[in-house]
Amino acid sequence: MDFIRYFKEGVSQVKEFDTALTEMRKVSNESVQGLRDFQKESFSIADSVGTTGLQIQQSTADFMRLGQSLEEAKKSAKNANLLMNISEFKSIDDATTSLIAMSSAFQDVSQEHILDSLNKVGNDFSISTEGLSEALQRSAASLVTSNNTFEEAVALMTAGNQIVQSPEKVGTAWNTIALRLTGTKQAKT
């Protein structure tokens, strides 16, 4: 029975890797051989960040879907997996979504700086890394529109959470405040 169970698990793993390769092929102009080479490389990337090769491949496909090249997507996938490891996110999809939102809003800030800042604030203040990520995800676009830097946005989320103790409410509140301020006549001038 153990042999049959191991065989079924092996077949299941092969199917998952094949599905990941198919997803990457759908969203990439890379050659099949180039993607297969990346699949082999994904295991060493996974070892360096403490995750699985399959998870790296799936994250890479997510970033390639956004138009990133294979090299950019590899780096972004590694960073998303690092975010998952340093935060309280329970799934790589949540970490990836959060990193995409923050990177898209704060395009002049490197993903590594985002990770370092989230980790530092999550360790030193009364807001979790996941909570800070979620708050920024809710408000980043409107804060950028109102000319706030990444550091200012992190400070606003952290300070607001000190009092309210609800990252979701703080993120939504700053989103509303920033949108209302940018809608005033003074902001327009």
pLDDT of the chain along its 189 residues, tens only? 888 887 777 777 777 777 777 777 777 778 888 888 988 899 899 999 999 888 998 889 889 888 899 999 999 999 999 999 999 999 988 999 999 999 999 999 999 999 999 999 999 998 999 999 999 999 999 999 889 999 999 999 999 999 999 999 999 999 999 988 887 766 566
**In terms of domains, do 19 and 74 share one?**
yes
**In terms of domains, do 52 and 110 share one?**
no
**In terms of domains, do 122 and 81 share one?**
no
**In terms of domains, do 144 and 185 share one?**
yes
Instruction: Indicate the pTM of the whole model.
Output: 0.81
Domain count, the chain: 2
Which residue's structure tokens are 């935060």? Answer: 87
Burial of 15 (0-12, 13-18, 19+ CB in 10 A): exposed
Q: What amino acid is encoded at 144 in this protein?
A: V
Contacts of 71 (CB under 8 A, 6+ apart): none
**In terms of domains, do 96 and 189 share one?**
yes
Last residue of a domain, one of 69, 86, 103: 86
**In terms of domains, do 49 and 117 share one?**
no
**In terms of domains, do 57 and 99 share one?**
no
Last residue of a domain, one of 36, 69, 86: 86
Domain that holds residue 68: 1-86
CB atoms within 10 A of CB 130: 21
**In terms of domains, do 104 and 66 share one?**
no
**In terms of domains, do 96 and 188 share one?**
yes
Q: What is the pLDDT of residue 26?
A: 78
> What are the structure tokens assigned to 104, written together?
């898209």
Produce one character per residue of 20-43: b if its CB has 16 or more CB atoms within 10 Å, e if not: bbebbeebbebeeeebeebbeebe
**In terms of domains, do 48 and 116 share one?**
no
**In terms of domains, do 58 and 13 share one?**
yes
**In terms of domains, do 66 and 158 share one?**
no
How far lies 30's CA from each of 38, 70, 155, 188, in Å?
10, 8, 41, 45
Which residue's structure tokens are 């980790």? Answer: 119
